[in-house]
Amino acid sequence: MQLDLPPPLNSNIRNAAFIKSSTRVADCPPDKLPEFALIGRSNVGKSSLINSLTRNDKLAKVSKEPGKHHLINHYLINDSWYLVDLPGYGFAKAGKSSKEEWLKFTKDYFIERENLVSVLLLVDSSVPPQEVDKDCANWLAECEVPFCIVFTKIDNRKRDMPPNAQNIRAFKQLMAEEWEELPRCFETSSRTGAGRSDLLGYVASLRELHVRST
């Protein structure tokens, strides 16, 4: 069910800073500020989206070995809220034990961070629908974690792959097989900035709801 959102707060990002990387949820910054967590498959473009939203290409570093390290990265936005980069899932070389570790590590974050407002589930639009992305959406719903879907790389069509718009439609159809109503969806490009304003406006509206409820 989609929320009836109030008019957003000012969605402009004036400043952004990397605060810390944490290997345990207990080591994260004090949860006094609202948080928006990014989650998705390794190489989906989480770091690129953070840099696009903040218009700072040097803020979030792209790992040379995606999926290797389990870190929670906190970025302070406008000194008033956090973007949180969670470890990627579905890494091709990850074994069963690594996947179980990822589930526990990430679920601990969802359970323990009281100021988590919403999760941004990133889905790569340049490839056909991946079951692991649908599974993550279902898992978030089972954990009662509010989330939206952010399609990335809408300007990056891969050779020998269907058009990005076709991949997006196919993923929505896959979700609709189990969902009566889909979560809010956004289509973005970190290279061109497409979808940036809409996504930041959505985040600002959720922050307004959070402020009213606290």
Residue 3 forms part of a structural domain: no
Q: Which of 21, 13, 95, 87 is nearest to 54 (CA)?
A: 13
| Domain count across the chain | 1
| Bridging pattern class, strands 185-187 and 72-77 | unpaired
pTM of the model: 0.91
Grade residue 64 by pLDDT with cuts at 50, 70 and 90: low
Structural domain harbouring 204 = 16-213
| Bridging pattern class, strands 35-40 and 81-85 | parallel
Q: If you count them, how many residues does the chain have?
A: 214
Residue 10 forms part of a structural domain: no
Residue 23 forms part of a structural domain: yes
| Tens-place pLDDT, residues 105-122 | 888 899 889 999 999 999
Residue 2 forms part of a structural domain: no
| Tens-place pLDDT, residues 182-191 | 999 999 999 9
Residue 59 forms part of a structural domain: yes
Q: Virtual CA dihedral for 37, 172, 141, 51, nearest 10 degrees?
A: 0
Name the amino acid, one letter, at 97. Answer: S
Q: Taking residues 127-139, what's their average pLDDT? A: 94
- What lies within 8 Å, CB to CB, of 49 at 6+ separation is 38, 120, 122, 150, 152, 188, 190
- CA 144 → CA 3, 32, 139, 165, 209, distances in Å? 14, 21, 9, 29, 17
CATH number for the domain including 137?
3.40.50.300
Grade residue 92 by pLDDT with cuts at 50, 70 and 90: very low
| 170 has pLDDT over 80 | yes
Residue 27 forms part of a structural domain: yes
